[in-house]
Amino acid sequence: MSGNQIRRSMPILPIGTVMQLTDLTARQIRYYEEHSLIHPARSDGNRRLYSLNDVDQLLEIKDLLDQGINMAGIKKILILKTEPAPIETTTTKPEVSNEEVRKILREELLQAGRFQRPGMQNERPRFFH
DNA sequence: ATTCTCACA
DNA sequence: TGTGAGAA
């Protein structure tokens, strides 16, 4: 049950293939990398090589973006994906499932994200007066 | 043919 | 985020 995981994390896809698989432009794919949303491997003459996991990662990013979440939020969400089991605190109290924590955090991010979104690009954030 | 980085009438 | 230039 790990052979596939190994394969899924194997860096083999050139950016061109990833573009077709995700419907994202090379510009966007590289842009997300600049913001540490993905970490494709490099090879040959400095060419990016993506794994199937990276492709899934990008598809999720695209989704989150459509949902109105920004890079910062996506970054946090992605970290939750990477570190599924935060910390089994020493407290043996009736645990609040990680899923519960995630749900809450996800909602928070949705809120934060909705602020600077396309639609009212000209309006400046006038929090006061 | 592809992808990379960098810059922007 | 798009686009084009010059190199690899």
How far is it between the farthest Cα atoms of chain A?
A: 59
Evaluate if the CB of A65 falls below 7 Å from strand C. yes
Answer whether any strand C atom is within 7 A of the Cβ of A25. yes
The mean per-residue pLDDT over the stretch A18-39 comes to 96
Q: What is the pLDDT of residue A78?
A: 77
CA of A18: nearest nucleotide by C1' is: B3
Q: Which stretch, A16-25, A77-86, A97-106, has highest mean pLDDT?
A: A16-25
Q: Hey, how many other C-beta atoms are within 10 angstroms of the C-beta on A49? A: 17
- Residue A113 CB contacts under 8 Å (≥ 6 apart), including other chains: A67, A68, A69, A70, A72, A73
Bridge partners of residue A107, in order along the sequence: none
Under DSSP, the state recorded for A90 is S
| Cα A89–Cα A93–Cα A94 angle in degrees, nearest 5 | 115
Chain B nucleotides close to protein (CB under 7 A) are: 2-5
Q: Is the pLDDT of residue A116 over 70?
A: no
Contact between the CB of A9 and strand C at under 7 Å:
no
Measuring from the CA of residue A47 to each C1' atom, give the nucleotide at the shortest distance: B3
Nucleotides of C under 7 A from a protein CB: 1-3, 8
